Chain A
Amino acid sequence: MISKPRFDRRQFLSRSVQAAGLLALTGCDGLSANDSLRSLLGLTERVTLLVHRAVVPRAAMAREYPDADRSAVFPANGNTDPNNPAYDELAASGFRDWRLSVTGLVARPSQFALEVLKGLPSRTQVTRHDCVEGWSAIAKWTGVPLRELMERAQPLPSARFIVFHCADRDEDRVPYYESIALEDAYHPQTILAYEMNDQPLDVPHGAPLRLRIERQLGYKQAKYLTGLELTDNLASFGKGKGGYWEDQGYEWYAGI
């Protein structure tokens, strides 16, 4: 007998908790569309970047794995076919006429043919690729350290970012692009790779040249490179957030 009112109270409480939970969940959805809250959440990225810059040594290296640890199948994600006739033409001739341009805030704007890049000092690394979705795959990459190109192009003191122009377009023909901080270009493992697992880069993985910036997530590893542009501000590219995925709400700093 005594237990009856208690049971009702419990039921009332559990219903209240359910209602509060539902309210909170839908609340989060409403808040997700609120601009000032989004800018508050966006603060996180700046804090993370500041803290990482403060605690992670500039020269700290991403782990390099033995050849045997490589993935049997390395997923090709994002655009796997550039969807661009000009690219198809270059690919048909084995990228003979392809050039990588280096422009913007540099003392010596220049162009590099693929064979020229292959003639520069190279670095080979077996590293882990961490996709923002959650999966990881390991592959061997060979390419020219970005530092080599910077030393040739000579960035002006005002340059802060490198924008990577890419040949790929999504199904709505929106071009892919990416950007990194200039200082990250000088990390030894930041390379422009032309080989994957000892083979020339294939089309799904970004032929003829892609970025490897091993300390950040997969979407920073721009494929199908056509040009590098040094700049002091990202606002004039794409929708102004510094990259194709960044323009869709992903963090520009993809170190976590």
Chain B
Amino acid sequence: MIDQAPTSEDRANTPDIEWRHNAPADPSDRMIPVAPREAAVYRHTLPVRVSHWLNAVCLFVLIGSGLQIFNAHPALYWGNRSDPDRALLSIRSVRADDETFTGITTILGHEFTTTGVLGHSSGRHRAFPAWATIPGPQWLAMGRQWHLFAAWLFVLNGLGFWAYGWLSRHFTRDLLPRHQEWRSIGRSLKDHLRLRHPTGEAAKQYNALQKLAYASVVLGVGPLIVLTGLTMSPTLDTALPWLLDVFGGRQAARTLHFLACWAFVAFVVVHLFQVILTGTINNLRSMITGWYRVPREVSRHDQQTSV
């Protein structure tokens, strides 16, 4: 019986078995019984999985090489010019009389000592330390090559993902919060802070906070980081001069690009934390094979006592 596609009769006769649904194209795979009380859903389609992993590699390279490029001029400004006396942020190394060095990070006029991490690390004057940059040593030309290569991949991958997301209705169906979900955000936030995650039926789709996080990255930070990146190109500024006006100038675009990078870093940190917290293997499996095992339904009372 297990090898056969079950009929509706089978399903009616075996109420303890849950069935995989939303299965991939091959109809013979469509209905396979799995262990009782452990439903698996086909959560991530192939284009989403390919795009996800490509994106993971791109972001890794883009962030490391981006910090390498930042190190060549470790200061940020607003507007079109980089007037040294009007930096919003600067990271520098200061030498004391006794030949020791201090890393100083200045943010909006407030100075912080950041020796060992920012400004001076491992005996070198560097804004971001060698372990955070691609390549490790100060090497702007190579950092740019990595960055622009990964940027092209990131943009092409992003465009493909966007086209797929809208055409397949993945964005509207799974990522954009519905009207009633906006109102449940408070509860979703409380549950997240208590590290309590949806189970059973509720775990089959993204919750309000999850949707908001994914949607703001896909529709907000992603396009922002690409457009501010393009604004830094003197050639593209001639064809798309409105970019300079929208972002407040070339140096402002560089600042926004840097902030968007940290928004990505924050997203990735929270994302990885949640992946680990809600079952690393299950989550990894679902992003590799597509299949996600739905956590067994746990009543709120059970959950409270087991934690």
Q: Residues of A with Cβ closer than 8 Å to B?
A: 2, 9-10, 13-14, 17, 22, 24-26, 28-29, 32, 38, 40-45, 47-48, 52, 55-57, 60-63, 65, 69, 71-73, 128, 130-138, 214-217, 245, 248-251, 255-256
Q: Nearest-CB distance from A147 to chain B (Å)?
A: 17
Top-6 shortest CB links A-B = A255-B235, A249-B141, A134-B73, A60-B238, A256-B233, A135-B82
Contact of A130 among B83, B234, B241, B272 (CB under 8 A): B234
Contact of B234 among A55, A137, A215, A250 (CB under 8 A): A215
Which chain A residue shows the least CB distance to B141? Answer: A249
Q: Nearest-CB distance from A90 to chain B (Å)?
A: 31
Chain B interface size range: 35 or more
Main secondary structure of the interface of B (DSSP, over half): helix
| Residue B232 CB within 8 A of the other chain | yes
Complex Cα gap A155–B233 (Å)? 29
Q: Which of B210-258 contact A (CB under 8 A)?
A: 232-239, 241, 244, 250-251, 254
Which chain A residue shows the least CB distance to B60? Answer: A24
Contact B244 A63 (CB under 8 A): yes
Which residues of chain B are within 8 angstroms of A28 by Cβ–Cβ distance? 61, 64, 134-135, 146
Contact B145 A44 (CB under 8 A): yes
Contact A216 B241 (CB under 8 A): no
Complex Cα gap A56–B233 (Å)? 12
Which residues of chain B are within 8 angstroms of A9 by Cβ–Cβ distance? 280
Contact B238 A131 (CB under 8 A): no
Contact A17 B272 (CB under 8 A): yes
Q: Residues of B with Cβ closer than 8 Å to A?
A: 60-61, 64, 69-70, 72-73, 75, 80-84, 131, 134-137, 139-142, 144-146, 148-149, 152, 232-239, 241, 244, 250-251, 254, 272, 276, 280, 306
Contact A134 B69 (CB under 8 A): yes
Q: List 5 A-B contacts (CB under 8 A).
A: A29-B135, A48-B148, A55-B239, A63-B244, A256-B232
Contact A128 B145 (CB under 8 A): no
Q: Nearest-CB distance from B148 to chain A (Å)?
A: 5
Contact B73 A133 (CB under 8 A): yes
Which residues of chain B are within 8 angstroms of A43 by Cβ–Cβ distance? 149
Contact B239 A41 (CB under 8 A): no
Which residues of chain A are within 8 angstroms of B73 by Cβ–Cβ distance? 131, 133-135
Given A132-B144, A138-B81, answer yes or no on A25-B136 (Cβ-Cβ < 8 Å). Answer: yes
Which residues of chain A are within 8 angstroms of B69 by Cβ–Cβ distance? 134
Which residues of chain A are within 8 angstroms of B139 by Cβ–Cβ distance? 32
Contact A255 B144 (CB under 8 A): no
Which residues of chain A are within 8 angstroms of B236 by Cβ–Cβ distance? 52, 56, 255-256
Which chain B residue shows the least CB distance to A12? Answer: B280
